[in-house]
Amino acid sequence: MGWKTPKIEYVNGYKIVEIDGPIFKVYDGTLQIGEDFPYSGEAAAHAKSLPRRDAPRE
């Protein structure tokens, strides 16, 4: 089993992280918002449905 760097994307100021599986999670800082999503489009749609954040935070 190899080590894989998670893919990170920002949508509407929220961080979307791809985990092995693939599973996509939406984060507000370190707090996961919502459930695990099987597709990146579903995670992005969830992030877009949330109130806009000004800037991504690490």
How far apart (Å, rounded) are the C-alpha atoms in residues 24 and 22?
A: 7
| pTM of the predicted protein model | 0.82
Binned at pLDDT 50, 70 and 90, residue 13 comes out as very high
Q: State pLDDT tens for residues 20-32.
A: 888 999 999 999 9
Q: 20 by DSSP, 3-state: which?
A: coil
CA–CA dist 33, 31 (Å, integer):
6
The partner residues of 24 in beta bridges, in order of sequence, read 18, 37
10 has which bridge partners?
Answer: 15
Structure tokens belonging to residue 5: 């760097």
Confidence of residue 53 (pLDDT cuts 50, 70, 90): confident
- For the segment 37-55, the average pLDDT, to the nearest whole number, is 92
